[in-house]
Amino acid sequence: MSLILRIPYNAVRSFSSTLVRDTKQWRVSQGLPANRNAEGILTDGPDYTFLDGRPTPLLVRI
């Protein structure tokens, strides 16, 4: 006996572009970048460290 579940397409993917747009507008109004991954310690920091303590060269953004 096999069981087949029928799930409507829009029930699986309930995603609203309005929410994304409003979130971006709120971030910009608060003085933050529109894309939360555009800048920060994880994207602007060094990718590695030297074990002997030498300073890591900073990434140059193009």
- Sequence-ordered alpha helix ranges (H) in 2-51: 9-12, 17-29, 41-44
Residue 24, Cβ density class (10 Å: 0-12 exposed, 13-18 middle, ≥19 buried): middle
Question: Residue ranges per domain, the chain?
Answer: 15-62
pLDDT at 13: 57
Provide the whole-model pTM: 0.40
Q: What is the pLDDT of residues 8-35, one digit of tens each?
A: 655 555 556 667 778 888 888 998 888 8
Closest CA to 46 of 37, 38, 55: 55
Residues 6+ apart with CB under 8 A from 24: 34, 35
